[in-house]
Structure 1
């Protein structure tokens, strides 16, 4: 059992966006865990993709590869670095936003426990390991899916969980090499910034019956989404429209009809809430794309 842990190589990707690396909770807390990972027999390497080079200088450190782009789509970034990581001998690959906090005292211990469990379970039982993520006191991941809508769960048990009609946010998800080999490319590059996680987990449930939830709680700030400018909110809505249509393109007529009705009503409600007609214009113009 211990031998399985010793052979583990975890590659961690942090996507930096409009932030100096010194102000990234993910960069600082994950780097602080380097020695602890090593002490648990987990070889760890870091990739930082700076998606806005004008906002941060390069971070030079042993075991860290600094990559840069100019607002590249997240799906493209995840797939590109996953290929690099697994080609370089990784057994596991983790992705993270720059504002997730990994300072939980038992975070590395929880990963070590998951790896021990992994060594005793069939390879096709689960393909990803993910943490419980909170925004303040509210559990935001993993959650439930009802048709095309995500819903929060009041609680999630650590360990194996059914993957059917479940969702999770991307940040903190750890992919096993077997998952990469089955599902590569992991992410649909038609999707750039939003709905990438929904697309992955909708597809994931057709490959794996379960995922593994770490016995740890992490903090991830979602407050920025509640204070969007109208322009930013319109962009997010446009991405949601495109994302839903890509993710659920193979569903039946009734499913897609209900989804389109939901999007139309959402466009109207958002136009009223923001006092901006851009949401309705975005919805109707999306049929011309």
Structure 2
């Protein structure tokens, strides 16, 4: 915490965290948006995100030179693979092999929450808010789906950040992982329901196939029967 404050020593900022209450992320984000000032930017990090002071230096410069852009994204890696931004085609995300920093077309782009920098003017006046039925998983997809429907451009920062996708790590207690897996499925279906009945029912089929793959990856057949 002290290290973060040191990185931000020359930047006017306010820090908001969950205080161990385990509130839904969508609720926290909506509450935070309501408290933002017009000239601020919201920056989102996860507790396992890894970054340094260059993140703030490069994002500050990008914002200064691109005032018309409402979303800035770092290039996020997990074990050497780019995991954000990514492409969202229909109901399925696809990782990118490479991406060039700078302004890009936002069509079909999705991203994880960690490292997002969002203009408060957009959040307060044009963004309709996070769907609070989507509590943890897919809050980022919920945001990106709404953002890309009204914004043609976003900016990719010339900054590489590391982040661990803990959900896919093995060794977690089954009951805990099952609860998280059910939340992921439920949130995914809420998101796809907005896209129409066809996408909703196709996603059901995809999630069944995914549960088989996840069971193999986790080496636990019980995930096939989690609904």
- Post-superposition Cα deviations, 1:219-277, rounded to whole Å, max 9, x if no partner, equal 11224632243223322321122112211213244322321111122234445654343
> What do you get for the CA RMSD once the two structures are aligned?
2.1
Q: Secondary structure at the residue paired with 2:157?
A: strand
In the alignment, is the contact (CA less than 8 A) between 2:212 and 2:224 conserved in 1? yes
Q: Which of 57, 72, 96 is the equivalent residue of 1:109? A: 57
Q: Which of 11, 19, 24 is the equivalent residue of 1:73? A: 24
Q: Which of 16, 19, 36 is the equivalent residue of 1:47? A: 16
Unaligned runs of 5+ in 1: 1-26, 53-69, 284-289
In the alignment, is the contact (CA less than 8 A) between 1:128 and 1:179 conserved in 2? no
The alpha-carbon distance between structure 1 residues 77 and 153, as it changes in their structure 2 partners (threshold 3 A), is same
Inter-partner Cα distance in structure 2 for 1:270 and 1:217? 28
Inter-partner Cα distance in structure 2 for 1:179 and 1:115? 14
The alpha-carbon distance between structure 1 residues 268 and 82, as it changes in their structure 2 partners (threshold 3 A), is same
Inter-partner Cα distance in structure 2 for 1:171 and 1:202? 16
More strand per residue? 1
Q: Which of 231, 251, 271 is the equivalent residue of 2:195? A: 251
Alpha-carbon shift at residue 169 of structure 1 (Å): 0.5
TM-score of the pair, normalised by structure 1: 0.70
- Post-superposition Cα deviations, 1:42-80, rounded to whole Å, max 9, x if no partner, equal 422222322x2xxxxxxxxxxxxxxxxx21101101111
Inter-partner Cα distance in structure 2 for 1:74 and 1:206? 22
In the alignment, is the contact (CA less than 8 A) between 1:145 and 1:165 conserved in 2? yes
Q: Which of 93, 97, 112 is the equivalent residue of 1:154? A: 97
Moved more, 232-241 or 207-216: 232-241
Inter-partner Cα distance in structure 2 for 1:102 and 1:95? 12
* Larger-gyration structure (1/2): 1
Task: Count residues in correspondence.
Answer: 224
Inter-partner Cα distance in structure 2 for 1:117 and 1:72? 36
Does 2:84 match 1:141?
Answer: yes
In the alignment, is the contact (CA less than 8 A) between 1:133 and 1:219 conserved in 2? yes
